Amino acid sequence: MDKRPALLVMAAGMGSRYGGLKQMDKIGPGGEIIIDYSLYDARRAGFEKAVFVINRKIEKDFRELIDGGAGKFMDVEYVFQDLDDIPEGFSVPEERVKPWGTAHAVYSARNVMDGPFAVINSDDYYGPGAFEVMYDFLKDARDGEKANYCMVSYLIENTLSESGSVARGVCGADEDGNLCSIVERTKIQRNNGVIQFTEDDGTSWTDIPEGTPVSMNLFGFTESFMPALAGEFEEAMARIIRENPLKGEFFLPSVVEKLIKTGRADVKLLVTGEKWQGVTYREDRPKVVEAMAEKTAAGMYPERLWCSER
């Protein structure tokens, strides 16, 4: 029997730019955290199982929030993103405290994901349409000569923060609507009305046209992805240890791009007009609270998400 798509939630971040555990900050009128809305939308789209990648330090409090809400209506499971969970033959550099990145977060769940799955961040609001197109793709996804993956993209102007720079994977697509490139830009912001990125801490800036599709880490994979990811992690670890042992990271978009470039995967670019909401910075919080209150008042969501089964 074919396995139904599951949802993998990356929730281990400690919120250095936000100044706290943003994935546990209550922003909804009924005390909901931002991931509640993604889980609600995912459940309506057809997802019945969610796996959370978390930090051991927040396990008790995070589990209480999820188990008391979405956990009543979805199968939930928890795994940990541990610094020492790395390929055999490597060791954690002395003084390293920074996690290994988004690809490592997904790698942390390799022993519990045995079918197609979508990946999301815990501190981003994606919108119901994003989960609908994702589930529709994954329920019929089959690998052929190449792996068959997908990514839901957002227009860059719909993903910026007014409070500072953001990190996004800037995407390129071919004429068939397949992702052909995805380049991680870690510092993007609007300067004097123009969207730009910098790679040298602001010494120089490069324009990014409005309408450019970007990644918000909403990927869809078949079960072939985990073995491919494990192989890429070994190569990435060697690079990190050699070039930047204390802060180097293993990014999920970079893995996806390499699988495309080496001819191992096709990645369908699914487009959504949804507007991102997120709490990259503490100053973002009031706008997100206002946005969720407006969506609730408009009838998109009930005042208390998990009070009754939908």
The values of phi and psi at residue 156, to 5°, are -55, -35
pLDDT of residue 278: 84
pTM of the model: 0.91
> Is pLDDT of 1 > 90?
no
**pLDDT > 90 in the chain, percent:** 78
Boundaries of every domain in the chain: 6-297
187 neighbors 165 (Cβ within 8 angstroms) = yes
User: What is the distance between the alpha carbons of residues 304 and 307, in angstroms, rounded to a whole number?
Assistant: 6
Report which secondary-structure segment, H or E, holds 7: strand 6-10
CATH topology of domain 6-297: Spore Coat Polysaccharide Biosynthesis Protein SpsA; Chain A (3.90.550)
134 neighbors 152 (Cβ within 8 angstroms) = yes
User: What is the distance between the alpha carbons of residues 180 and 167, in angstroms, rounded to a whole number?
Assistant: 19
- Tens-digit pLDDT profile for residues 250-279: 999 899 999 999 999 999 999 888 888 888
12 neighbors 38 (Cβ within 8 angstroms) = no
